[in-house]
Amino acid sequence: MDTNTTTLPSAQVGLPYDCEPTLNDQQVFNFCRQGYLMLEGVVDDDVNRRMLAFVEEHTEHQPLELLTEDWFVEGVFKNPQAAGAVRSLLGADFKLPQTLCNHRADCPLPPQHWHRDGGSIYSRRLDYLQVFYYPQDTPRALGPTELIPGSHFMRSKANYMGHIRSVKLVKSTAAPAGTIFITAYPIWHRKGRSTASGIRHLFKYNYWRTAEPRRDWIIEPEYDFSWPDMANEPHFEQFKCGIAAAEMFSWLCGESYEHVGGTGWPCEAPVKSELCDQEGLPSGLRRYAN
């Protein structure tokens, strides 16, 4: 017997889990475009209080004891709103997190460098999600995580990212206790500047896909995928993020897709028709036979 192996007897580490999906077509498409989803205050106050009591006694970076606590697994990993969103994006029988860490910050602190986490790959697939949980109220003064919407499709060298100081499109995740936010793993992010004194806790963990991709969430039969509004898309390169998001969404739907160029889906056009589908829209998403 290997006496160096730590056994977690009641842990549900990496086990498949299923529940009802909670996201609809538009919300899944928006996640593909933005790369994140905020779920504010979804964890019960009792769970948040137990978490804050727990971290008073467990200051380590990876408090793996939580993986054996049913109140934590049920209240956070299987939280109905968060798990329903994960189910929408990863399909049935997704794997529960295998580990977790607490990004404990002793504020005040300067902002962190922009980065994408280690092991990130450039892909239109969505096989896993990185999820964050705030057990306490986390205003801007405590340096909540900042994200750049759409940046999960941006290619950049780490040494270049570290020199970026100001980004116009930054989204702060300042939020009340019990907030969970879900991200595409390679999204650009950083710990924001904190000005208040105190400890900020942020738990991070991953879910994994086991199912083949298909349009297995809340279907909106009347939703029109053609001519999406791209006015607020990140313009690192015109329409590039929107096209990449269309590729990801099509993959999630189990649809074949290749951008046809020009004003083909999902790019905007000067004149939008209500009488036909946009050229290049995958066949399974069309309303008309054109």
**Exposed / middle / buried, residue 167 (Cβ in 10 Å: 0-12, 13-18, 19+):** middle
At which of 208, 240, 258 does a domain end? 208
The number of folded domains in the chain is: 2
- Residue 236's domain comprises 224-290
285/165 same-domain check: no
Same domain, 90 and 141: yes
Give the chain's length: 290
The amino acid sitting at 196 is A
Residues 6+ apart with CB under 8 A from 30: 37
- 77 and 176: one domain? yes
* Predicted pLDDT at 267: 87
Per-residue pLDDT of the chain (290 residues), as tens digits, is 344 445 554 578 889 999 999 999 999 999 999 999 999 999 999 999 999 999 999 999 999 999 999 999 999 999 999 999 999 999 999 999 999 999 999 999 999 988 888 898 888 999 999 999 999 999 999 999 999 998 898 876 556 656 566 666 889 999 999 999 999 999 999 999 999 999 999 999 999 999 999 999 999 998 999 988 776 665 555 567 889 999 999 999 999 999 999 889 998 776 677 788 999 999 999 988 75
Angle 240-253/25-34 helices, nearest 10 degrees? 130
Q: Are residues 127 and 69 in the same domain?
A: yes
State the Cα torsion 47-52-54-59 to the nearest 10°: 140
- Please check whether residue 3 lies inside any domain of the structure: no
Residue 162 within any structural domain of the chain: yes
Query: Which strands form 189-191's sheet, in the order they lie side by side?
Result: 171-172, 145-147, 189-191
- Distance, in Å, from the CA atom of 70 to the CA atom of 190, rounded to the nearest integer, reads 31
Same domain, 45 and 89: yes
Do residues 154 and 184 both lie within one domain? yes
Per residue in 244-265, pLDDT (tens digit) is 999 999 999 999 999 999 889 9
